[in-house]
A and B are shown apart, each in its own frame.
Chain A
Amino acid sequence: MDLYEYQGKQVFARFGIPTSPGGVADSPDEAVAAADAAGYPVVLKAQVKVGGRGKAGGIKLASDAAEARRCAGEILGMDIKGHTVRRLWVEHASDIAREYYASFTLDRPAKSHLGMLSAEGGVEIEEVAATNPGAIARIHVDPIGGLDLETARRWVADAGLDEEARAQAAEVLVSLYRCYDEGDCDLAEINPLVLTTDGRVHALDAKVTLDDNARFRHPEWEEYAATETEDPREVMAKAKGLNYIGLTGDVGIIANGAGLAMSTCDVVNQVGGRPANFLDIGGGANADVMSAALEVINADPSVRSIFVNIFGGITRVDEVAKGVIEALRRVDLRSPIVLRLDGTNAEEGRALLHPHLSERLTAEPTMLEAARRAVAMAGAGAGRGAEERA
């Protein structure tokens, strides 16, 4: 789960990582109140889960209340790469002397934690990584031993951070590792970590990704989950406990298992179609799960056909077939369904479905053939939704 900057800074605060004083605002009035509290001059920052907001005009400086109000009005409602700005983070503006970069993440091949630190932080860090990899000091941190202050002190020196920043930066890094480790982050990144003209080191931005698998031991993440996604299709799927990612095509996809769901999207693409979504219903493809999945897909106005691709392993195909039949009773579908059911008890499953087959519910023996049919049906505008749009 990716966090907004202001949420990342809340997490940082819990681990003692210094940030600028500030607050959130959803309206120009709230922005002025937050700015008054933080002290002028202030920076107003669009809260969106996408990079490049500064270049898009989503970050503005204001020296008084009138200016803060005007800037807030300009940024709120702005569209940044498809994300509408609904919230601002307003903080006291820092006098920046230097910008550094610091992060911890998992190095999968090394099966260890990777810390990266650079004296050349800021918006061009990826460019720095590509053209001058030596400017990034990397260390591996043992998942058992963790990061101690002594190692952090050597690290800030290796990275070439300015002398006056080193002691504070080393402490920030130890705190950042604790935040990453104890806080169950997939990523904890500060870019930039700044040295101010009056010699203080603090985090000017926060990029935090939490490990969804660790939710069971972090009740405090509840509030972040509430703001996780803005795509209404994903919000609905999440409420139903489904693993759904919205895409831009017109063939709705339902499959069991993430690999098969990805593969299903690929095959639809290979035969000339475009998937409307990725939806993995996991192992329990019963009537409730299947109904929920069909409801979510049915609610997407772009969908013109639905491809249900199930390979029974431990999931029995006859159970899946019963689930589909029951789901069809419960959900009034706009689009035709193409089924491909294979694996454990496939024969029994197909026999159960046979009396229900029609123009709007067809079955194909293989994944490829089913994909072709689903794509053809989407292209023919067989769905009622297509007629409505026409």
Chain B
Amino acid sequence: MSIFVDETTTVVVQGVSPTSQGLYHGLRNRAYGTKVVAGTNPKRGGEEIEGIPVFATVAEAVEATGATASFISVPPPFAAAAIIEAAEAGIAFIVCITEGIPAHDEARTYARLVAEHPGTRLLGPNCPGIISPGRCNIGITSGDIALAGGPVGIVSRSGTLTYQALHELSQQGIGQTTCVGIGGDPVPGTNFIDCLAAFQEDPDTKAVMLIGEIGGSEEERAAEYIAGNVTKPVVCYIAGVTAPPGRKMGHAGAIISGSKGTAQAKMQALADAGALVAQNPTEAGVRMVEIVKELG
């Protein structure tokens, strides 16, 4: 089993042209085995690129192919509109890897999804995507470093650290059910808690690796959730213990976050919630290997 995507997931890639990032990544995902069934481009409806039928709109693509997921890597000025277009077309799962979307666009888009399209889940923006090894890969994660078969679920706010985590586990022969990169932007469509809840429900996921970083309070909220709802073992790593103490956003930042937001506060909260907190990515991998071996 896996969360959010599986071998039945069919993907429409938004914004395909012979030179677009969307096509490049879409073809990589297809080569991995993902069912990429359509592309969109307002100027290329009716064409076919690399064997992918292209439609002018997501709605047309959904009507013709029944696509259930969409993949967005269009430039920042167009990303918010692309997300809304996918939701309006009835797409249930949207992956947006675009980096650099203005925070106000993200806030407005999220508010619209909640109000008008409650059945749609957005992953990202600014994330590496999702891979359920051997079943489906939407995004930019290299399929080579993932290993099918479980039993570990991974959820991460950081791109390269997600790869690092996959690599540490795969090298030890420990597979993954699903690896979700939620991205580090101010308004993520899917957060740690959404993923923890799904992994807790997924019978094939036996343990969860959570990778966070400084800033915000998503990790602290995840810790509260773990304490009350997650019975499976959780191994965590938080990046940024020595990172420059970010731009302090006037008094407002201090007033909102209090002591929250630092790596130490996040690690303490997660440890208090019963999670195993590793000091570096390698140690996180080692601890997870021990846990999986104990689980038999």
Q: Which residues of A contact B (CB under 8 A)?
A: 2, 51, 101, 103-109, 111-114, 116, 125-126, 129-130, 136, 142-144, 181, 184, 186-187, 189, 191, 207, 209, 211, 213-214, 216-217, 245, 247, 255-260, 262-263, 265-270, 275, 278, 311-314, 342-344, 366-368
Contact = CB atoms under 8 A, between A and B. Distances in A.
Given A211-B102, A266-B240, A125 B161 contact: no
Given A108-B218, A143-B108, A257 B161 contact: yes
Contacts of A269: 241-242
B160 A211 contact: no
Interface in B199-231: 211, 213-214, 216-218, 221
B279 interface: yes
B281 A209 contact: no
Contact of B250 (A103, A184, A255): A103
Contacts of A130: 258
Contact of A266 (B159, B239, B255): B239
A116 B252 contact: yes
Interface string B245-285: 00111111111101000010000000000000001111000
A111 B107 contact: yes
Q: Which of B76, B112, B243 counts the most A-chain CB atoms under 10 A from its CB? A: B243
The 10 closest A-B pairs by CB, nearest first: A259-B158, A257-B160, A260-B160, A214-B102, A259-B161, A143-B107, A262-B239, A207-B250, A129-B255, A269-B242
Contacts of A311: 160, 163-164, 167
B40 to A, nearest CB: 22
B249 A112 contact: no
Contacts of B112: 144
Contacts of B248: 51
B111 to A, nearest CB: 5
Given A216-B77, A344-B144, A106 B103 contact: yes
Nearest to A125: B251
B161 A108 contact: no
A313 B112 CA distance: 33
B56 interface: no
B282 A313 contact: no
A313 B103 contact: no
Given A312-B142, A313-B141, A108 B186 contact: yes
Given A109-B217, A143-B104, 6 more contacts: A181-B104, A266-B242, A311-B160, A313-B160, A344-B142, A344-B144
B243 A255 contact: no
Contacts of B22: none
Contacts of A108: 186-187, 216-218
A213 B76 contact: yes
B145 interface: yes
B157 interface: yes
A186 B216 CA distance: 13
B250 A187 contact: yes
B108 A144 contact: yes
B39 interface: no
Q: Which of B104, B140, B142, B254 counts the most A-chain CB atoms under 10 A from its CB? A: B104
Contacts of A207: 250-251
9 contacts: A105-B250, A106-B186, A136-B255, A259-B161, A262-B158, A266-B279, A275-B242, A313-B140, A344-B142
Given A213-B102, A367-B280, A186 B249 contact: yes
Contacts of A263: 158, 161, 164, 237, 239-240, 280-281
Contact of B111 (A144, A258, A367): A144
Nearest to A274: B242
Contacts of A259: 156-162, 184, 211, 213, 239
Contacts of A101: 251
A279 to B, nearest CB: 12
Given A143-B104, A270-B279, A311-B164, A126 B251 contact: yes
B173 interface: no
Q: Which of B28, B115, B282 counts the most A-chain CB atoms under 10 A from its CB? A: B282
Contacts of B159: 257, 259, 313
B110 interface: yes
B252 A109 contact: no
Contacts of B256: 105, 107, 114
Q: Which of A143, A187, A263, A344 counts the most B-chain CB atoms under 10 A from its CB? A: A263
A187 B252 contact: yes
Contacts of B247: 2, 209
B51 interface: no
Contact of A184 (B102, B145, B186): B102
Interface in B102-125: 102-104, 107-108, 110-112, 115
Contacts of A257: 158-161
A366 B249 CA distance: 36
Contacts of A245: 244
Contacts of B128: 313
B132 to A, nearest CB: 17
A1 to B, nearest CB: 9
Contact of A343 (B115, B145, B221): B145
B167 A111 contact: no
B282 A366 contact: yes
B100 interface: yes
A54 to B, nearest CB: 14
A308 to B, nearest CB: 13
A265 B243 contact: yes
Given A103-B251, A109-B221, A111-B110, A368 B282 contact: yes
B121 to A, nearest CB: 14
A255 B160 contact: yes
Q: Which of B144, B163, B281 counts the most A-chain CB atoms under 10 A from its CB? A: B163
Given A143-B104, A186-B103, A209-B249, A216 B76 contact: yes
Given A106-B187, A257-B158, A269-B242, A112 B111 contact: yes
B101 interface: yes
